[in-house]
């Protein structure tokens, strides 16, 4: 199984924002103040961190699933869980962020009962009979998980 759930808009805005910050800082690096060691060091660090954040932002809001594990990327961390640690995937309408929007959020329920909510993997609640992307993702991942549980119980 190879499954990928990714959201493009947070990637584009996040990477675009940090690329803009780096582009604003580059003239200071090569400008008149570029010959002063303090400016060179601080601007170099700022450009390096901004570049790293731009790369991480371009890879965030992604869930990857294969036969061995489930991997979720956000802007600061990449976390992986082997399938045998996962009890199921859940979706709930929750308030996300400081804007208080109600969004459908994907969660990972571990065998110990804890639920890890992935707020970066969210979408607006569906209208009508159509399901949201995170509902579809939970259904696909739970289907694969039930197949793994059935195969392990048959063995």
Q: Residue ranges of the domains in the chain?
A: 7-59, 63-154
Q: Do residues 123 and 134 touch, judged by C-beta distance below 8 A?
A: yes
| pLDDT of the residue at 15 | 95
In the structure encoding, which two tokens stand for residue 146, read together?
A: 């039930």
117 and 63 in contact (C-beta within 8 Å)?
A: no
How confident is the model over 33-75, as pLDDT tens digits?
556 778 788 888 999 999 999 999 999 999 999 999 999 999 9
pTM as predicted: 0.83
Give the SS3 label for residue 2: coil
The sign of the CA dihedral 131, 98, 118, 120 is positive
Residue 29: per-residue pLDDT: 75
Residue in the structure block whose two tokens are 């992986």: 80
pLDDT for 99 = 78
Query: Which residues, given as ranges, of the chain have pLDDT below 70?
Result: 32-35, 155
Residue 35: the pLDDT is 66
Structure tokens at 95: 């308030």
So what's the pLDDT on residue 69? 96
């Amino acid at each position: 199984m190879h499954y990928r759930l990714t959201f493009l808009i947070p990637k584009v805005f996040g990477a675009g924002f940090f690329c803009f910050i780096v582009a604003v800082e580059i003239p200071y690096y090569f400008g008149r103040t570029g010959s002063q060691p303090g400016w060179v060091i601080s601007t170099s660090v700022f450009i390096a961190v901004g570049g790293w954040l731009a790369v991480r932002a371009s890879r965030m809001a992604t869930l990857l699933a294969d036969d061995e594990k489930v991997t979720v990327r956000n802007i600061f961390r990449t976390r992986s869980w082997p399938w045998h640690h996962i009890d199921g995937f859940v979706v709930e309408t929750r308030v996300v962020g400081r804007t208080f929007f109600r969004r459908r959020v994907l969660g990972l329920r571990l065998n110990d009962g804890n639920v890890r909510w992935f707020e970066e993997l969210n979408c607006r609640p569906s209208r009508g009979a159509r399901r949201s992307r995170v509902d579809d993702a939970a259904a696909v991942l739970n289907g694969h998980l039930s197949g793994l549980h059935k195969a392990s119980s048959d063995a």
